[in-house]
């Protein structure tokens, strides 16, 4: 089987609140379409300076715990040098240093190899930009 590359872009609206959006189903649907039975790597990338990709448990409070931890580490106040947008927006530009804008995940036999409770998530603390893109790319 020769190596091949496939990619698509997800367009999402995250809203005007800080959010953790589960992308796992979209990743699985993408792999079902373009990589049935194949091994390779899935790269998930958000081309925004104020959002990141995290692998974590969702639905049991971990997503809220992550947002709470980020709020403590990166408070939305006037301490930031980057000062456009809503008050404290400069912290959103620091977020990708803590929650990187990408993740590369193994794909075995066309299936995303995540742990039992792991999900692929978009983390967005920027309330000024509710429209997001996420690029999914498969190499295999």
**Residue-wise pLDDT tens digits, 11-49:** 999 988 999 999 999 999 999 999 999 999 999 999 999
- Mean pLDDT on 121-138: 95
Name the percent of the chain lying above pLDDT 90.
84
Q: Say what the pLDDT of residue 83 is.
A: 80
Cβ neighbours, 10 Å, residue 106: 13
Q: Which residue has the higher pLDDT, 41 or 3?
A: 41
How far does CA 16 lie from the centroid of its chain? 17
Q: Which residues form the domain of 50? A: 5-139
Model pTM score: 0.94
Q: Which residue has the higher pLDDT, 14 or 3?
A: 14
Provide CB contacts within 8 A for 14, sequence distance 6+: 21, 122, 124, 130, 131, 132
**Residue-wise pLDDT tens digits, 58-79:** 989 999 999 999 999 999 998 9
Q: How many domains does the chain have?
A: 1
Q: Which residue matches tokens 């075995």? A: 108
Query: Does the pLDDT of residue 2 top 90, yes or no?
Result: no
Average pLDDT of the chain, as a whole number: 94
Sign of CA dihedral 18, 20, 25, 26: positive
Element holding 119 (H helix, E strand): strand 119-124
CATH of the domain at 64: 2.60.120.460
**Residue-wise pLDDT tens digits, 76-100:** 998 999 888 888 899 999 999 999 9
At residue 1 the predicted structure's pLDDT band, cuts being 50, 70 and 90, is very low
The Cα–Cα gap between 108 and 39 comes to 4
The Cα–Cα gap between 45 and 22 comes to 14
């Amino acid at each position: 089987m020769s190596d091949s590359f496939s990619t698509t872009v997800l367009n999402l609206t995250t809203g005007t609140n800080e959010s953790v959006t589960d992308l796992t189903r979209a990743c699985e649907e993408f792999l079902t379409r373009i990589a049935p039975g194949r091994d390779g790597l899935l790269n998930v990338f958000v081309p925004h300076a104020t959002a990141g990709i995290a692998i974590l448990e969702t639905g049991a409070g971990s997503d809220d715990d992550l947002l709470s931890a980020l709020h403590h580490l990166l408070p939305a106040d006037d301490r930031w040098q980057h000062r456009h947008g809503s008050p404290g927006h400069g912290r959103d530009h620091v977020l990708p240093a803590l929650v990187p804008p990408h993740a590369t995940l193994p794909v075995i036999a066309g299936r995303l190899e995540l742990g039992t409770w792991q999900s692929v998530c978009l983390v967005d603390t920027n309330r000024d930009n509710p429209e997001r893109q996420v690029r999914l790319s498969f190499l295999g």
